[in-house]
């Protein structure tokens, strides 16, 4: 097949790498990064109508969308109007991530367990509700805020200030003029991914992300500094509850809403006293979760996404490798505060055969300049290790980290600690 992947991060690189290793397809990336050009061809057509025309002219058989913004903007609708096969939700279904108010109302309407909340555009209503709540209090801007729209307030005054700043448009512009105020859930967080075709679904092994910049989950939030899967923090009972109480009613509900869900349903779960409660939905893969899940699939990734895009998941028996994956993000010096000076990346030759066979790099914030690979983004690359235990996978990921060099490189040293303690 000719396969087009939209996006430029480690997530898109890892989808591309998995398909590249199938040795059967031509890959295109829009816009891709300085390393995806080694897997296929990077193209640069930003307008979705022009891109759809290009896809038709170049006989693209399947398009896979990585990030949420093009989904919320309706790229899937435009491609489908052009009779193209594309894996991802329509703009209407992408509202599950595009609007927290929409998402919370769907959860409520279809009785899916989530934190108690109100949604409002009114400052007084927000403040009155905050007065009735226990601490801490969670305040969320409705729209997409690049992961920054959630405030966990330790006092009522802090919660009220956050609500007022969002509602006035001061914090997040239009994305914050409608808000969700909700109770704080105390438990452990999981990322569960369901590949959906509107009707059927396949659940991938549960992963755990590490959102904070510092060891021991300290410091500011990032896009994610590392992940591992499958996590032993999930048992069959939790998977069963997530399928029965969350995935099935969501797919059924979205059909009733006239917006059947096709694509990756990313379920952000908080497990509280053994009960899975939904924090949020995203409508795409997590990054860096994708970087460890793609290589754990024995089923060809192209087949999984193609069947997902053509409502044939019921015909697929998904196979997962019986091993663990750990991914450690290497970020640039000033991440997540500010950008850093571009720096050349040198990767030592991996002489240890065990390591070479059980690890690889997924490239994210990189550019190719005069034959050199440069670190240009915040999250630069992910070192991924595999093994029969989380510890072995983790050790390999860190061994690989030691082979990567660029000025200012940094990473967390405790990825997967919750599974190993």
If the CB atoms of residues 162 and 279 are measured against ligand GLY, the closer one turns out to be 279
- How many chain residues are in contact with ligand AMP, going by CB under 6 A? 11
Of 179-187, 234-242, 256-264, 360-368, which part binds ligand AMP (CB under 6 A)?
179-187
d(CA 380, CA 361): 10
Of the residues 65, 115, 292, 331, which one makes contact with ligand AMP according to CB under 6 A: 115
Query: Looking at 36-44, 46-54, 177-185, 385-393, which segment touches ligand AMP (CB under 6 A)?
Result: 177-185
Which residue in the shown chain puts its C-beta closest to ligand AMP?
280
Among 71, 107, 133, 138, binds ligand AMP (CB under 6 A): 138
By a kind-dependent CB cut-off of 5 to 8 A, residue 289 interacts, out of ligand AMP, ligand GLY, none, with ligand GLY
Give the residue carrying structure tokens 């549960």: 206
Q: By CB under 6 A, is residue 30 in contact with ligand AMP? A: no
121 in Cβ contact with 148 (< 8 Å): no
Residues 6 or more apart in contact with residue 28 via CB below 8 angstroms = 2, 3, 4, 5, 40, 41, 42, 43, 58, 60
Any contact of residue 185 with ligand AMP (CB under 6 A)? Answer: yes
Binding mask 210-249 for ligand AMP (x = CB under 6 A): ----------------------------------------
Handedness of CA 160, 162, 167, 170 (dihedral sign): positive
Q: Residue 313's closest CA among 202, 206, 418?
A: 202
142, 209, 341, 343 from 338: Cα distances, Å: 25, 22, 10, 15
Element (H, E) at 251: helix 248-256
Q: Which does 358 bind (CB under 5 to 8 A by kind): ligand AMP, ligand GLY, none?
A: none
Q: Give the residue among 65, 69, 26, 51 at the shortest CA–CA distance from 308.
A: 65
Q: Which is nearer to ligand GLY, 145 or 367 (CB)?
A: 145
Q: Do 285 and 193 touch, CB atoms closer than 8 A?
A: yes
Shortest distance in whole angstroms from residue 224 CB to ligand GLY:
3
Report the residue from 189, 199, 217, 392 that binds ligand AMP according to the rule CB under 6 A: 189
Q: Which residues bind ligand AMP (CB under 6 A)?
A: 115, 138, 140, 150, 182, 184-185, 189, 268, 279-280
């Amino acid at each position: 097949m000719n396969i087009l992947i939209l996006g430029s991060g480690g997530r898109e690189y890892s989808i591309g790498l998995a398909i590249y290793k199938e040795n059967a397809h031509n890959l295109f990336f829009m816009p891709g990064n300085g390393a995806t050009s080694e897997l296929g061809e990077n193209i640069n057509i930003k307008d979705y109508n022009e891109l759809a025309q290009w896809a038709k002219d170049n006989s693209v058989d399947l398009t896979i969308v990585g990030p949420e913004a093009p989904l919320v903007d309706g790229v899937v609708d435009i491609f489908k109007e052009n009779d193209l096969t594309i894996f991802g939700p329509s703009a209407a279904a992408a509202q599950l991530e595009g609007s927290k108010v929409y998402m919370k109302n769907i959860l409520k309407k279809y009785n899916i367990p989530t934190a108690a909340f109100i949604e409002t555009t009114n400052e007084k209503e927000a403040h009155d509700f905050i007065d009735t709540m226990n601490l801490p209090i969670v305040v969320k801007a409705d729209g997409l805020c690049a992961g920054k729209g959630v405030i966990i307030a330790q006092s009522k005054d802090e919660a009220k200030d956050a609500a007022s700043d969002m509602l006035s448009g001061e914090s997040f512009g239009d994305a914050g003029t409608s808000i969700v105020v909700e109770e704080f859930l105390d438990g452990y967080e999981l990322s569960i991914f369901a590949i959906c075709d509107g009707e059927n679904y396949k659940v991938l092994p549960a992963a755990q992300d590490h959102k904070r910049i510092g060891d021991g989950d300290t410091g500011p939030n990032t896009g994610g500094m590392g992940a591992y899967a499958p996590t032993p923090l999930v048992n069959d009972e939790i998977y069963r509850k997530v399928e029965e109480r969350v995935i099935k009613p969501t797919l059924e509900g979205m059909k009733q809403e006239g917006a059947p869900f096709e694509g990756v349903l990313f379920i952000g779960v908080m497990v509280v006293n053994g009960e899975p409660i939904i924090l949020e939905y995203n409508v795409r893969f997590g990054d860096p979760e994708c970087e460890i899940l793609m290589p754990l699939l024995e089923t060809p990734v192209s087949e999984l996404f193609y069947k997902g895009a053509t409502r044939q998941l019921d015909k697929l028996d998904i196979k997962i490798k019986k091993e663990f994956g750990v991914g450690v993000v290497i970020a640039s010096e000033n991440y997540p505060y500010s950008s850093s000076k571009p720096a050349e990346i040198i990767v030592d030759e991996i002489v240890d055969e065990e390591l070479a066979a059980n690890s690889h790099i997924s490239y994210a914030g990189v550019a190719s300049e005069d034959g050199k690979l440069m670190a240009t983004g915040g999250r630069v690359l992910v070192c991924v290790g595999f093994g029969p235990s989380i510890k072995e996978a983790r050790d390999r990921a860190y061994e690989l980290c030691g082979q990567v060099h660029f000025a200012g490189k940094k990473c967390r040293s405790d990825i997967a600690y919750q599974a190993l303690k």
